[in-house]
Amino acid sequence: MASRIKRTMLSPISLMPEMVGDFITRFGSKKLKEELCGEITDKFLEILLGGMDIAFTLSSGYRKNIKGFEGRYLFRTADNLVSASAAFKDGNMHVHEDSIDDWGARVTFKDAKALRAFLFSQNQDILNSILANEVEVDGNLNYIYKFGFMARDLAKRLGVG
Amino acid sequence: MSQITIKDISLQDYNLTERVKNLKKAYFRAMPEICVERPHWITEFHLKNNLFKKDKITILDKARAYRFALEKRTPVIWHTRSYEKGMKPFDIKDTSLFAGSTTSKFKGVPLYPEFIALALWPELWTISKRKSNPFFLSEEDAKKLNYDIFPHWMENTIQELARKKYHPPEMKVFERLVFFLASKPNCISHTLPDFSKAINKGLRAIIDEAEERKSKTPDQSKIEFYTAISEALEGIIAYSKNLSKKARELADKENDPALKKELLDIAEINSHAPEFPARTFREGLTTVWLCWTAIHLENPNVGLSLGRLDQILYNLYRKDIDNKVITINDAIELISCLWLKIGDHVPAMPDAGEQLFGGTGSNQAITIGGVDKDGRDAVNDLTYVMLRATELMKLRDPNLNARYYSGINSKEYLKRLCEANVNTGATPALHNDKAVIKALTSKGDSLEHARDYGVIGCVEPGSNGRSYGATGAILFNLTSVLELTLFNGRHRHTGMDALISKETGDHNAFKIFDEFKNAFAEQTRWLVEKAANLNNIFGRIHQDFYPTPILSVLFEGPMEKGKDVIQGGALINSSGATIIGLADVADSLSAIQKLVFEEKTVSFRELLDALNKNFEGCEVLQKRLMNPDKTPKYGNEDPAADTNVRWIVELMDRAFGEKENYRGGRYRVGYWTMTNHAGFGRLMKATPNGRKAHENFTSGITPVSAVTPHLTKALNSVAKQPVECLSSGVALNLKYTPEKDNGKMLDNFAASVEGYFDDMDGKRDGGMEIQFNITTHDKFVEAVKNPDAEEYRELLVRVSGYTAYFKDLNPQMQKEIIDRTEYLLSTGKMIPFEPFPLHER
C-alpha cells in the first residue's frame, strides 16, 4: 500500500495528463489485474485497496472521484479473519489493515470470490450479491454504490472493465 | 341514455395514419436513453438554495425547485435522433401532434436521485451494454452523474434519510429483500390524479383560487401551501410557453408549408393550454399531457395513472365531432400520438432489478367505460376511439383497463373488449364494476366516489383524484410467512441459525391443523407490523423531504384543506399492500391440512425433510402434492382449498386493515404481483404444495398453473372470494388459445367473463378483475428463440397487472408466462403442456 512517503514521491505523476497517469497506474497494478482477470487469492481485498490507493495517487482523473468526499468503509469476512478499512478525506485514501468502529458503510462478505463478484461481475451488481446472501451491507448504501463505481472505474482504467 | 353514436363500435375501418406509423416504428426501434436533465437542474437548485443542509424541505422549496427545472428544461417539439440496439444513432421523423416530452430524449429514462437513481452508480460505464434491457448513456453524461450529481445525494436519498433519522430495526428485515419490499425509497408509489379541473378551468384559474385562499387564511402553513401551488403551476405554464416559442421559431425556419402549419398549430395550442380552459379536444389532451410531464418531473415514473380519460375528455370530443372540427380518424390519430407520448419513458432499473423484475414499464393505467357517479352507463364514443387506438398501437404503456357493469353496460361493449384482447393478445384488462364498487364502499368510500373509480398502476381501484392510495406501498411475500411458520421463526434463505421473527412452535408443537394456522397468523401479524412500520417511517420522510405540490393540485381535498396530499390532504388516504404467493401458500396449507393432520400419511418431519431436499428422492410425495385429485388445490371448487384461500385473504385484510398509515388512513390489501412472483420465487426454497426451490410462484390471485383443468371451476373458486378483503385490487391471469372460429370464440370469451363477474344474486361477490394472454404456447416458445424477429418484437403480454413486451422480460418471467394454464374456450378445458425449461439469455 502506498505509504505517505510513497504518495509524496509519486504525487508529481498525477500532475501529468490523465492518460499518462492511467498508463502508469496500469503498469503499477499488475497484481490487481491478475486478481481481477484470473485466479483470485485471499489477498484480493488488500490488493484491491492497495491498487485503488496507487491509482488515486497517480491518476488525476481517478482522484477526481474522491474530491470532497469523506467516507469510511469497513470490509470484513463474517468470521472477521479478514478485515480492512478505507477512509477518504481531503482528496486522499487511507487504508488500514484493521477494523474501525465509526464506519459509514460496512461490507461483510463470504469470501474473496464473493467480494469480487459483488464489485466487478458484469452480470451481477450490488443488489444481486445481497440477494445471494454472499454479501451483507450495513450503513449507507449510497457509499457502497459509490465504491462500486470507483472499483469498476479502476478496472476500466486498467483495461479490464 | 346511450352516448353511442358511432355505427360500428369496432371502428375497424380506421387505421393508423402515416404520421403515427412512422412514430411507432421509431418507438420500437429506439433503445431507452438515460436523461440527466432533471437531476442536473434539481441538484443545481438544491445547491444554490442550500437544501441539502436543511432538516426539512418545505413544499415551497420543492415548488420553487420544480418551477426552476420546468423553466430551464429543453423545450423539445419534435425529436430528431435516437439510438438503436448496438448504440447506433438513427434519425427520427417525429411529427407528433403534441410537443414536449417526459425527458429530453425520444424514449428517455428519467432519473430521480432523491430515490434510487444512485443504485445505477456502479453501472455507469456498463449500462449501455448490459444484457438485460440496456439504457444508452453517453460518456459525458456518465461523468456528469458521477462527478456533479450523485455525490450530492449520498446523504440525502429517502432511504438514507430514513435510516439516519429513525434507525428502524425493520430496515434490516427489508434489506434482506425476501420478506417484503417497501416502495417508498423508490417512488411516492402508485396513485391517481384527476385532470378535470385543469382541463375545464385552466391552471391560471387554479393559481387565482390559490391566491384567493391564501389571502383569506392567517395559517402560515396554508399560506406556504397556496404559494407553492402558484409557484408550481407557473412552472408548468412557463414550460408550455417555452414549447410554444420554440415551435414558432421552428416554424419560421420551416420551408414545408404543411409542417410550418403544424408547428404554428402547436405554437398556438401551447400558448393557450394548459394555462386556460381547453377549447378543443386537442387542447384538452395537451393539458393532460403537459400536466403529466410535470407530474413526472416531480414524481418517479412508477405506477402514476391517468384515470378515466374517456369521461373527462368526452365533452370536448363530442363538441369537436359535432362541429366537424375533427373526424373520428383525427381523434384516433390524436389518441395514438398521446399514447406514444405517455409511453416515452422507462423506469430506471439497476441490473439486479432487471433480473428480478425486468421488463416493467411505468405502469401508467388509463381507465375506460363502466358507470358514472350516478350509476349510469358511462361508455361513450370516445371509449371506443381509445379502445381502437390501443388496439392499433399495441403499446406496453399506457396500460388500458376497461370497466364493465353487467346489466348497465351493453353486451356489445363487453364483446368488443374481448375482441380487443384477441387482437392485441393482452389488453385491456377487465374490471367488474359491481364487485369493485362493493369493495371500495366496504372500506368507507362513498357510493358516488366508488362509482367514479379509476385503475391505478396495475389493477388497483381508487376514486379518481380523491384517493391518494399509494397502492403499491408494500409488496408482501406471503411465502416468507409460511417459511417462518414452518421453521419456527427462521428462514432458509437467510440461514437457519438466525431467528428472524418469533418462535411460534416447531413441527412437533402442532397437534392439530388449527394450531399450525394460529402460528401462521402470528407470523403474519409480525411481518405485517414490520412492513407497515417501515412504510410509515418512509412516509414521514416523504413528508419532511418530499412534499408534492404538483400532485396536490390534481387531487380533490388539498386545495380545500390547504394541505399537501403527502400530509393527508386528499379525501381518501389509504395505503396499499399487495400480497405475493397467495395460491402457493393456500395450496401448501391445504396439503399440510390433508396429508399431515387429517390423513396423517406424511409426518411433518418427513414433509420438512422433503422440502429441505428439494424433493430429491421424494418424487412420489412431490407428485402427490401436485396432484389435484389427491391434494386439494385452489381453483377446482374444492371446498377445503377455497376455504383456506378465504381464510388467508381475511387474515391479511384484518392484519393490514388494523394498521394506520402516516397520513391517518388505513391499509388496503390487493393480490397483483407484477413480476414479483417470479422474483421472489427465484429466492425461495421448496414449498409444501410441491413447488421446487427457485421456481416461480403463481401470479396475482390466480390458481397455481397446471392444477386447474376446468376453466369454469377455476373462475368460480376465484369469484367466491370476499371482495371487501381485496379492496386494493386483484389480477387474475388467464391464457386463452386463439381459435379459428373467431365469432364463436368471442361469444365464449364474453360468456366466461360474464360468468366470472356474476354475483349469483348475492350468493357471492363475483370476480373483481380478469386479464388475458391470447397467444399460443408455441408462439411464446418461438419468441424466446427469436426475440428480435419483427413479429415478436412487439409481442405484448399481461404480466400480473401491467402489460409488457415479452422480449423484455427476464427468462424466469418468460417461463412463468409460457407455463401459465392455457384454456381452450370451446371446450372449457386446460390444454396440457410440458413445462418450459428455464433458459439463459
Model pLDDT for residues B571-607, shown as the tens digit of each residue = 999 999 999 999 999 999 999 999 999 999 999 999 9
How far is the alpha carbon of B110 from chain A, nearest alpha carbon, in Å?
Answer: 19
Instruction: State whether residue A140 sits within 8 Å of chain B by CB.
Output: yes
Distance from C-alpha of B707 to C-alpha of B636, rounded to nearest angstrom? 8
Distance from C-alpha of B150 to C-alpha of B381, rounded to nearest angstrom? 48
Start-end of H helices in B167-280: 170-175, 196-201, 203-216, 220-253, 257-272
Which residues of chain A from 60 to 79 reach within 8 Å of chain B, CB to CB?
64-65, 67-69, 71
Confidence grade of residue B449 (pLDDT, cut at 50, 70, 90): very high
Minimal Cβ distance to A156: which of B121, B125, B147: B125
Which residues of chain A from 1 to 60 reach within 8 Å of chain B, CB to CB?
none
Do B122 and A64 count as a contact with CB atoms less than 8 A apart?
Answer: no
Confidence at residue A100, expressed as pLDDT on a 0 to 100 scale: 87
Do B122 and A68 count as a contact with CB atoms less than 8 A apart?
Answer: no
Specify the range with the lowest mean pLDDT, choosing from A110-114, B520-524, B554-558.
A110-114
- Whether residue B153 contacts residue A140, with contact meaning beta carbons closer than 8 Å, is answered with no
How far is the alpha carbon of A69 from chain B, nearest alpha carbon, in Å?
Answer: 8
Specify the range with the lowest mean pLDDT, choosing from B71-80, B126-135, B737-746.
B126-135
Q: What digits encode the pLDDT tens for the residues B219-253?
A: 999 999 999 999 999 999 999 999 999 999 999 99
Q: B313-350: string of b/e by CB count within 10 Å (b at 16+)?
A: bbbbbbebbeeeebebebbbbbbbbbbbbbbbbbbbbb
**Given phi > 0 = left and psi -120 to 50 = alpha, else beta, which region is B610?**
alpha
Confidence at residue A1, expressed as pLDDT on a 0 to 100 scale: 46
Do A127 and B123 count as a contact with CB atoms less than 8 A apart?
Answer: no
How far is the alpha carbon of B57 from chain A, nearest alpha carbon, in Å?
Answer: 21
ipTM higher than the 0.90 cut: yes
Give me chain B's average pLDDT, please: 96
Confidence at residue A9, expressed as pLDDT on a 0 to 100 scale: 64
3-state secondary structure B276-317: CCCCCHHHHHHHHHHHHHHHHHHCCCCCECCECHHHHCHHHH
Q: What digits encode the pLDDT tens for the residues B7-38?
A: 999 999 999 999 999 999 999 999 999 999 99
Instruction: State whether residue B168 sits within 8 Å of chain A by CB.
Output: no
Q: What digits encode the pLDDT tens for the residues B203-213?
A: 999 999 999 99
Do B121 and A133 count as a contact with CB atoms less than 8 A apart?
Answer: no
Confidence at residue A40, expressed as pLDDT on a 0 to 100 scale: 80
Distance from C-alpha of A112 to C-alpha of A122, rounded to nearest angstrom? 17
Considering only residues B801 and B112, tell me which one the structure prediction assigns the higher pLDDT. B112
Q: Which residues in chain B have Cβ-Cβ distances shorter than 8 Å to A126? A: 119, 122, 350, 352
Confidence at residue A161, expressed as pLDDT on a 0 to 100 scale: 65
- Whether residue A89 contacts residue A70, with contact meaning beta carbons closer than 8 Å, is answered with yes
Residue-range domain boundaries for chain A: 4-154
Under 8 Å CB pairs connecting chains A and B tally to: 86
Nearest residue on chain B to A153, alpha-carbon basis: B125
Confidence at residue A10, expressed as pLDDT on a 0 to 100 scale: 64
Do A145 and B119 count as a contact with CB atoms less than 8 A apart?
Answer: yes
How far is the alpha carbon of B90 from chain A, nearest alpha carbon, in Å?
Answer: 27
- Whether residue B226 contacts residue B213, with contact meaning beta carbons closer than 8 Å, is answered with yes
Do B356 and A143 count as a contact with CB atoms less than 8 A apart?
Answer: no
Instruction: State whether residue A159 sits within 8 Å of chain B by CB.
Output: no
Other Cβ atoms closer than 10 A to B407: 9
Confidence grade of residue B360 (pLDDT, cut at 50, 70, 90): confident
Confidence at residue A81, expressed as pLDDT on a 0 to 100 scale: 85
Residue ranges with strand state E in B85-124: 88-91, 108-110
How far is the alpha carbon of B172 from chain A, nearest alpha carbon, in Å?
Answer: 9
Q: Which residues in chain A have Cβ-Cβ distances shorter than 8 Å to B146? A: 65, 149, 153
Q: Which residues pair with B3 in a beta bridge?
A: B380
List phi, psi (to 5°) of A46. -60, -45
Tens-level pLDDT at each residue, chain A (161 residues): 445 666 666 666 666 677 766 776 776 677 787 777 777 877 888 889 999 998 998 888 899 999 999 999 999 998 888 889 999 999 999 999 888 889 999 999 988 888 888 888 665 455 566 677 788 889 999 999 999 999 999 999 988 86
| B361 pLDDT above the threshold of 90 | no
Q: Which amino acid is at A98?
A: D
Confidence at residue B791, expressed as pLDDT on a 0 to 100 scale: 87
Residues 6+ apart with CB under 8 A from B448: B373, B374
User: What is each CA distance from B249 to B98, B150, B253, in whole angstroms?
Assistant: 16, 35, 7
Do B352 and A124 count as a contact with CB atoms less than 8 A apart?
Answer: yes
Q: What digits encode the pLDDT tens for the residues B412-446?
A: 999 999 999 999 999 999 999 999 999 999 999 99
**How many degrees, rounded to 5, is the angle at CA B96 between CA B90 and CA B97?**
170
Burial of B185 (0-12, 13-18, 19+ CB in 10 A): buried
Confidence at residue A8, expressed as pLDDT on a 0 to 100 scale: 67
Q: Which residues pair with B365 in a beta bridge?
A: B399
Minimal Cβ distance to B350: which of A125, A133, A140: A125
Q: What digits encode the pLDDT tens for the residues B314-349?
A: 999 999 999 999 999 999 999 999 999 999 999 998
Do A126 and B125 count as a contact with CB atoms less than 8 A apart?
Answer: no
User: What is each CA distance from B553 to B464, B558, B563, B699, in whole angstroms?
Assistant: 13, 7, 10, 35
Q: What digits encode the pLDDT tens for the residues B468-502?
A: 989 999 999 999 999 999 999 999 998 898 999 99
Q: Which amino acid is at B26?
A: A
Do B151 and A69 count as a contact with CB atoms less than 8 A apart?
Answer: yes
Looking at the domain that runs over A4-154, which CATH code has it been given?
A: 3.30.1050.10
Q: Which residues in chain B have Cβ-Cβ distances shorter than 8 Å to A137? A: 175
Q: What digits encode the pLDDT tens for the residues B660-693?
A: 999 999 999 999 999 899 989 988 999 999 999 9
Specify the range with the lowest mean pLDDT, choosing from A151-155, B450-454, B537-541.
A151-155
Mutation to test the B interface, candidates A107, A149, A150, A158, most B Cβ within 10 Å? A149
Q: Which residues pair with B181 in a beta bridge?
A: B475
Q: Strands B769-773 and A92-96: what pairing?
A: unpaired
Confidence at residue A4, expressed as pLDDT on a 0 to 100 scale: 61
Confidence grade of residue B744 (pLDDT, cut at 50, 70, 90): very high
As a residue count, chain B comes to 841
Do A140 and B160 count as a contact with CB atoms less than 8 A apart?
Answer: yes
